[in-house]
Structure 1
Amino acid sequence: MQSDFFAKKRRNSILLVAILIGITYGAMMITEYDAAKGFASIPKAFEWGITNFYPNVESLEKLPNIWEKLQETLLISIASATIAAFFALLFAIFGSETTKINRFFSVACRGIATLFRNIDVAAWAMILLFSFGQSALTGYFALFFVSFGFLTRAFMETIDEVGSSSVEALRATGASYFSIVMHSVIPSCIPQILSWILFMVETNIRSATLVGILTGTGIGFSFDLYYKSLNYNAASLVVLTIIVSILTIEYLSNYVRRVIL
């Protein structure tokens, strides 16, 4: 019996691999992609990057402007994550199975969170371009909507993981809904909530570069401008600045997590 189970599992695995190979081959045929040519071009790509994509003395003169754009990107990323966290916490409280008011509000909050979470930040940026044009506000709302959807879902799961025994005990004593949330649920979830907010800030900083290219703002716009004007030295300086800022934020975030968790 056990041998039949493993044989069936092996056949299913082989079938799945065959399907994936077939889909891959079909996609290559439709798009006329030459895999051999693609792999052969990798050494040339590295060679071009080494000889062209590096900062020089002239590009360093643009560092103040790059730093100004980076600050704009960082502030938008942090603001969108923190303000979204406030609204996400409200929706998570109403949507959580532990603290929900009724079934209707719970389903509605979960549905809204799912909608905002599953639309990619680039799609939000393109949608919002029709309303706000190329502006910092477009980038802010794109990051805000995705942050709101993700954090609402994360906060719901965090609240649901909190033991319901303390909630039931407070209810048995006649405590009000507000007292239960403020004195039991939120204090128990604060470390995890802060950790999720820090994670969202990191994610937004990474996403803000792409959003900036679409909205014409921030550090992403600086990279797009330098790259399209063939100023690869300045573009490489932008990339290095982004990498350093992301690594710095991640280090600080991990340090804060170690302190609060």
Structure 2
Amino acid sequence: MDNFFFKKRAQSVLVLSLLIVISYGSILITEFDVIKGLNSIPNAIIWGVTNFYPTRESLEKLPSILAKLQETILISIAAASVASVFAIVFAIFGSKTTKVNGILSTISRGIATLFRNIDVAAWAMILLFSFGQSSLTGYFALFFVSFGFLTRAFMETIDEIGVQAVEALTSTGANYTSVIIHSVIPSSIPQILSWVLFMIETNIRSATLVGILTGTGIGFSFDLFYKSLNYNAASLVVLTIIGIILTIEFISNYVRRVIL
């Protein structure tokens, strides 16, 4: 027992020492002034309190901000919803429980891994070359990331069902389509809906960054106000984003409690 705790302590010391060395090396390479950085924190807080808040003039821009916010929400919901339809098909082919054959399963898993591991900002920059700065660029960026994430999540959900339910129906003479429709999907649908709701929340958060890159939605409004030094209007955009994220999360959590 003493030897076990000694090894754990040694590992903790080793990891901590490694983090310190990496941090110190990064400071030297970037020539970051730690003292100056710490001293700037109070000034940053004072600037934020005195400049980053809505005013009466910025509230006049609220209708246009809400219109952009609505566009962002609709794009996020559409991307997650359509992606979930494609994702469930690829998840069925890729799942160990419902796979048709090993080759198709490997292809489905590979596609899901590729789309999931490319960041939404990278997708937005890639798609800018094809579609330019438009809502379609933002939609496809969110769609591809949603598709990759949901395919992987749906695969794990289907695998959790286990082969027993599938084998039970198969033994009665049910074909592949009947097994999927009458066993796999009904058993997975609550968790699948939960993942879709989670993806919508994530998309709304990501859509702000995507909007800055693609010049659309609420992200573009923030970028426009911030670059024009209209910090009061920019703060109003931030507050509306926070408000809608909290609202969507509350609704999502309520729906999850009902269906799960």
Q: TM-score, normalised by structure 1?
A: 0.98
Count of equivalent residues: 260
Q: Which residue of 2 aligns with 1:152?
A: 151
Return the letter of the residue paired with 1:145: F
Q: Which residue of 2 aligns with 1:73?
A: 72
- Describe the SS at the equivalent of 1:15: helix
**1:101-140 equivalences in 2 (<5 Å):** 101-140=100-139
Pairing 1:37–2:36 present:
yes
Return the letter of the residue paired with 2:227: K
Deviations 1:36-94 (A, max 9, x none): 22122111111101100111111111111101100100000000000000000000000
CA distance in 2, matches of 1:78, 1:138: 15
Deviations 1:183-205 (A, max 9, x none): 00000001000000000000000
Pairing 1:6–2:5 present:
yes
Report how far residue 163 of structure 1 moved: 2.8
Deviations 1:208-253 (A, max 9, x none): 0000000000000000000000011111111111111111111111
Report how far residue 3 of structure 1 moved: 2.5
Deviations 1:153-204 (A, max 9, x none): 0000000001321110111111110000000000000100000000000000
Return the letter of the residue paired with 2:162: G
CA distance in 1, matches of 2:2, 2:52: 56
**1:141-220 equivalences in 2 (<5 Å):** 141-220=140-219
CA distance in 2, matches of 1:12, 1:254: 39
Stretches of 4+ aligned residues off by more than 4 angstroms: none
CA distance in 1, matches of 2:254, 2:117: 30
Pairing 1:225–2:235 present:
no
Report how far residue 258 of structure 1 moved: 1.0
More displaced 10-residue stretch of structure 1: 30-39 or 199-208:
30-39
CA distance in 2, matches of 1:79, 1:167: 32
**1:51-62 equivalences in 2 (<5 Å):** 51-62=50-61
Pairing 1:258–2:249 present:
no
Report how far residue 22 of structure 1 moved: 0.4
CA distance in 1, matches of 2:223, 2:66: 15
CA distance in 2, matches of 1:67, 1:4: 61
Identity of matched residues, %: 75
Give the superposed CA RMSD. 0.9
Q: TM-score, normalised by structure 2?
A: 0.98
Return the letter of the residue paired with 1:124: W
**1:91-102 equivalences in 2 (<5 Å):** 91-102=90-101
CA distance in 2, matches of 1:35, 1:168: 62
Report how far residue 13 of structure 1 moved: 2.1
CA distance in 1, matches of 2:55, 2:126: 38
Is there any run of 5+ residues in structure 1 with no aligned partner, and where?
none
